[in-house]
Each structure stands twice: as structure tokens, then as C-alpha cells.
Amino acid sequence: MKREAERLQLAKSGYADSQLADPEVPQEPDIEALCAKAARTYDLTRREEDVLRLLVEGRTAPQIAEELVVSPNTVKTHVRNLYRKLGINRRADLACRLES
């Protein structure tokens, strides 16, 4: 009942129902914020942060190379540096490292 009252109050103040976060439904992580935090924590370069964000979004090395207008080998170098700085060995470990 209290949650419904909060929804009504927020609706009156101009918020759409879709803007209300349901505490029982897991929210999408803020990828930009997670990557920015990792960049500060692990002293990543701006380009390494860009590559990290694209990796987290699920892009492949060739897709990242195309988007950043660099060679796939350059992307591989950035990925290798990222893994070293984050202390991981594979892409699957990225999410765990970012959330810690």
C-alpha cells in the first residue's frame, strides 16, 4: 500500500510510472559509471577505458577496432594491458572485477 502511495505522489509530481524503480527487480548496471570507477581505481588510460566499456557491452575486438578506428592489433594490446592492470586473465572475469 505504501509503495502505491509513493507511485501516486510521484505521478502527481510528473514522473512516469516507468521511471520508478521497483526494488524487487534487478536494475541494469550503469556501465559508464562502472568503467569510470575502474579507470580511476586501476589507473587506466582514456583509450583503455573506452575499450573496457565496449568489452563490457559485449563487443568483439574487430567491432571495437572499427568503432575506435584503430587496428585489431591495437585493440588486442589495450585488452592485454587492461587484463594486466585489472589482474584478470579472461573476459568472463571483467564483470566480477568491475562490481568489486
Cell numbers placing 33: 559509471
Residue 42 has pLDDT above 60, yes or no: yes
Banded model confidence at residue 4, pLDDT cuts 50, 70, 90: low
Provide the mean pLDDT of the chain. 83
Q: How many CB atoms lie within 10 A of CB 95?
A: 12
- Cell numbers 505522489: residue: 9
CATH for 28-99 is: 1.10.10.10
d(CA 13, CA 55): 39
